[in-house]
Amino acid sequence: MLQSVSETVDPPRRPHATYRFGPFILDTRRRVLYCGAQIVPLSENLFRILVLLVRADGDVVTKATFFSEVWDEEHATDANLAQHILMLRHALGERARDRSYIVTVPRKGYRLAVSTELKAGLRMKGSCERCTALVSSDGEAYICSYECTFCPTCAQQLDHTCPNCAGALLVRPPRRTGTPNATNGVSR
Ligand SMILES: [Zn+2]
Ligand SMILES: [Zn+2]
């Protein structure tokens, strides 16, 4: 039996991050995988496997890592892992034609074939930084490209120019709270 040595450096833990790879968006906070506006249904185990692959950003995820993070000891077998990778390939592949997203690294594990992009998301500041008036995440507010945030009155008084960076102040897109649906607003 081979001594399993983890060769990958642990990627930084970003428990609530959203990632993009190929046509997919992986929202680890809401635990949803999107392909465009469509939700790709995944079991909890498939989701965990995908998160490990995506967080590794193209580096090899060892079998030992999958075994310790996804299953209890009893179910952590090569056969079970291979079967789940196959199911995950199906889930991704059905929507992405015959592109391969998961690469088998013989005897070691698996890695993602494409690089991933971390989507940081807009930090929704709760108040105007000039007059400290409250601005809710779905209320009217103005931001510069550095996310300096101002209420509508101040934005107007500032002539829609940020006093910190001299950049333009534009309307901040409202964030709908409580509806984690990418198809939000699309009528059927
Ligand atoms: Zn203000
Ligand atoms: Zn600014």
How many CB atoms lie under 10 A from the CB of residue 173? 12
Are residues 138 and 98 part of one domain? no
Strands 61-62 and 109-112: antiparallel
In the reported structure, the alpha carbon of residue 153 is separated from the centroid of ligand 2 by a whole-number distance in angstroms of 16
> pLDDT class for 43, splitting at 50, 70, 90?
very high
In the reported structure, the alpha carbon of residue 7 is separated from the centroid of ligand 1 by a whole-number distance in angstroms of 51
Region 132-157: what's the mean pLDDT? 93
Identify which ligand lies nearest to the alpha carbon of 153: 1
In the reported structure, the alpha carbon of residue 15 is separated from the centroid of ligand 2 by a whole-number distance in angstroms of 28
Which stretches does DSSP call E strand in 23-124? 24-27, 32-35, 38-39, 61-62, 102-105, 109-112, 117-119
Q: Domain for residue 156, yes or no?
A: yes
In the reported structure, the alpha carbon of residue 131 is separated from the centroid of ligand 2 by a whole-number distance in angstroms of 15
Q: How many CA atoms lie within 13 A of 86 on its CB side?
A: 6
Q: Domain for residue 149, yes or no?
A: yes
In the reported structure, the alpha carbon of residue 160 is separated from the centroid of ligand 1 by a whole-number distance in angstroms of 12
Are residues 102 and 35 part of one domain? yes
Identify which ligand lies nearest to the alpha carbon of 141: 1
Q: Domain for residue 181, yes or no?
A: no
Task: Give me the long-range contacts of 144-148 (CB less than 8 A, separation at least 24).
Answer: 144/168, 144/169, 144/170, 147/122, 147/123
Q: What CATH number is given to the structural domain containing 108?
A: 1.10.10.10
Are residues 100 and 48 part of one domain? yes
3 state SS of 93:
helix
Are residues 167 and 134 part of one domain? yes
Are residues 154 and 111 part of one domain? no
Which of 119, 136, 158 terminates a domain? The answer is 119
In the reported structure, the alpha carbon of residue 123 is separated from the centroid of ligand 2 by a whole-number distance in angstroms of 13
Q: Which pLDDT score, from 0 to 100, does residue 174 have? A: 87
Are residues 148 and 77 part of one domain? no
Q: For the whole model, what pTM was predicted?
A: 0.62
Q: Which pLDDT score, from 0 to 100, does residue 54 have? A: 94
Torsion angle (degrees, nearest 10) of CA 146, 13, 8, 85: -100
Are residues 97 and 47 part of one domain? yes
3 state SS of 21:
strand
In the reported structure, the alpha carbon of residue 175 is separated from the centroid of ligand 2 by a whole-number distance in angstroms of 20
Are residues 43 and 110 part of one domain? yes
Domain coverage including residue 62: 18-119
Q: Domain for residue 138, yes or no?
A: yes
Are residues 104 and 144 part of one domain? no
Are residues 136 and 114 part of one domain? no
Identify which ligand lies nearest to the alpha carbon of 135: 1
Are residues 95 and 34 part of one domain? yes
Range name among 77-91, 109-123, 141-155 with the lowest pLDDT average: 109-123
Q: Domain for residue 42, yes or no?
A: yes
Q: Domain for residue 10, yes or no?
A: no
Which of 102, 119, 136 terminates a domain? The answer is 119
Q: Domain for residue 180, yes or no?
A: no
Dist CA 33 CA 92 (whole Å): 10
Q: Which pLDDT score, from 0 to 100, does residue 115 have? A: 83
Q: How many domains does the chain have?
A: 2
In the reported structure, the alpha carbon of residue 128 is separated from the centroid of ligand 1 by a whole-number distance in angstroms of 5
In the reported structure, the alpha carbon of residue 61 is separated from the centroid of ligand 2 by a whole-number distance in angstroms of 40
Are residues 114 and 44 part of one domain? yes
* pLDDT one-digit tens code per residue, 51-109: 999 999 889 999 999 999 999 888 899 999 999 999 999 999 866 555 678 999 999 99
In the reported structure, the alpha carbon of residue 150 is separated from the centroid of ligand 2 by a whole-number distance in angstroms of 10
Q: Domain for residue 93, yes or no?
A: yes
Region 175-183: what's the mean pLDDT? 56
Which of 104, 119, 134 terminates a domain? The answer is 119
| Residue the block writes with tokens 């079998």 | 63
In the reported structure, the alpha carbon of residue 134 is separated from the centroid of ligand 2 by a whole-number distance in angstroms of 18
In the reported structure, the alpha carbon of residue 2 is separated from the centroid of ligand 1 by a whole-number distance in angstroms of 63
